[in-house]
Chain A
Amino acid sequence: MRPEIKHFIINVAGSLLIIATSSKAINGQDKLTFDGYLSDMQSLYRVPRLDLLWENSLHNRLNLHFYPADWLTGTIQVRSRLITGNTITTIPGYAGHFGSDNGFLDLSLSTDGKIRDHSGYIFYSGIDRLWLQFTVGSFEAKIGRQRINWGQTFVWNPNDIFNSYSYFEVDYPERPGSDAISLKYYPGMASAIELAVKTDSADRVTAAAYFRTNAFRYDLQLIAGIYNGEDLMLGTGWSGNIREAGFRGELSYFRDLSHFTDTAGYLMVSAGLDYTFSNSLFIQAELLYSAFAESYDINSIMQFYSGSLDVKKLGFTSWSFFTGLNYPFTPIFNGGLAAMVYPGLKGFYLGPNTDISLTGNIDLSAILQFFSAEFEVNGTPTRENNLFGFLRLKWNF
């Protein structure tokens, strides 16, 4: 917590708000717009050795966008949740997990407590985007809490070193932002050069140079940098097609800076294919190889389930395989099924889901997540099954 910086940011944001609201729209376009959503999600968790866990999450996202001048834009985005359930009283440290802000600045507030004996509540509100962007011709400078997304594949993104997060998180597509400075230059219509640096609550610095171009109908990217102050990171990624199908991949190489000469590096590779049939059936397949996984000592699915902020922990076995399909039965009724296989754990994941559009702006989603894998418990291989269910009503505005 750095209160003086926090105050500075709040002052800048407040001034922007005043500028934006006090001046009239130019060219008929508003200088201040807002959007977001309000949702309520009921979650059930069936995990080994515990009673059925339940949780309700009332969730609001409010995005304010500022357009004070052609060369200056900004945003403030606030995520607030009121969570109630027996997860809070059953899982040690649960409230702390929700109340934390891993950024350089702590821009969140939270409180929690008990509701009778068997359930508790957490209220959390945090700013996960807060940036100003300056644009001069083909140059852009973006300063503040932002998401820097260098992913090319759909499931696992070894190139996405700034905002890694768990694939299984169903209620946070935006993900937390990075406290970062990004300088960008667009040398062409479909290419970009970027320098980005971020730091976090543990003062770990990630800094990288990024280059993306378009050649032979492929998007190709190169990354070189320092990851979390610990590793040299070199990466490359691509998006293109094989005939009609999308073909994407990412390759990242990490090497510990403090043991640079006496250790080899670690490689992570993801690659995937996707295809959309003329009836809108979408199918995809992806694989992940992670050299880091060999050294992981995993004894429970919950260990990797919750949002990981470390790109090295994307894979929990050396190889992971994904396949998924999605089909809009009607424009208002969409169904999907995702499956993963983790050979190293003799494990698999199944995730059926459905979205129903109740009105133009209200959606009902039902998601199931089933995990099954084998772990060593007291020296004996033991199969662990977990079933999670989510039902969410979401109003976008």
Chain B
Amino acid sequence: MNKTLSASLLFSMSVSFLSVFGQGLPDALEIVRKADERFNGEKSSQSVMSMTIVRPTWERTVAFKSWTAGRDFALTLITEPARDRGQTFLKRYGEMWNWNPSISRLIKLPPSMMSQGWMGSDYTNDDILRESSVVNDYIHEIEGEELIDGSPCYRIKMVAKEDASVIWGHQVRWIEKENFLFLKAELYDQDGYLVRTELGSDIQLMDGRLLPTRLELIPADEEGHKTIVIIKDIKFNIPVNENFFSQQNMKRVR
């Protein structure tokens, strides 16, 4: 039960992953917000992604297709591993269901199951669910300019506002200057210790936009551990409406 349901939050990643791209633009709050909305404000998306957990002695991959509309609607189909293939997860507003075709069973997921991250990946629940705002919850400051993978980037320090309920004390983000692409981030806890590094790379044109299609999450204190998310395909503003996100369609998408 748990093993299959634990993948339940994968679909949310397609939303949160996008939000990462738009985070932390340099100077004015208004520019930051606009950049953030460039991705989060999309009406809908369709994506094909994989997530690989890398550990010193093994690695495992989950692959999935996702459809989203705003923040309220999402449908995800697991395509790998074979054991879970065909399972779908539907989110409508605050409710979520899981469909398992091998046993023809629809399960309504309670809040505690929904807030569970993918155990063992380097994602935390906050990444996926809390949706804390890099725009509103931080004070931004340009610290300088540096090269990441040969691309000139703004280096921006973001300090959490005192009243913001965020798990990070501060962040340092490197944003590529020409296209405002997130290429690197360092996330620090409240005591100022580095917790995690994120790297964006493999910049490709997808549905007319340049995007880093590979994201690595590297925990600071665990040698040989990381989580790799790869966008294989993504389309924005596809013609889906609320009716696409139905229990009937959970059984039909592929």
Residues of A at the B interface (CB closer than 8 Å) are 29, 35, 37, 67, 135, 138, 140, 146-149, 151, 154, 173-175, 186, 188-192, 214, 217, 219, 239-241, 243-248, 274-280, 282, 326-328, 330-332, 334, 336, 355, 357, 360-361, 363, 396-397
Contacts and interface: CB of A to CB of B under 8 A. Distances in A.
A280 B248 contact: no
Most buried by B among A241, A248, A327: A241
Contacts, number: 127
Interface string B1-22: 1110110000000000000000
Interface stretch (B36-44, B110-118, B203-211): B110-118
A326 B2 contact: yes
B94 interface: yes
Contacts of A188: 246
Contacts of B242: 189
A280 B2 contact: yes
A191 B92 CA distance: 13
A-B pairs, top 7 by smallest CB distance, nearest first, are A331-B120, A246-B110, A396-B82, A239-B108, A244-B112, A280-B119, A241-B110
B53 A331 contact: yes
B141 interface: no
Nearest to A218: B108
B2 A278 contact: no
Given A186-B248, A246-B108, A332-B60, A361 B3 contact: no
Interface residues of B, number: 47
Given A244-B115, A278-B116, 8 more contacts: A135-B252, A149-B106, A244-B111, A244-B112, A331-B118, A331-B119, A334-B2, A361-B82
Contacts of A214: 95
Interface of B: 1-3, 5-6, 53, 55, 58, 60-61, 80-83, 85-86, 92, 94-95, 97, 102-113, 115-116, 118-121, 125, 242-243, 245-248, 252, 254
B246 A189 contact: yes
Most buried by A among B60, B61, B110, B111: B110
A334 to B, nearest CB: 6
B102 to A, nearest CB: 5
B110 A244 contact: yes
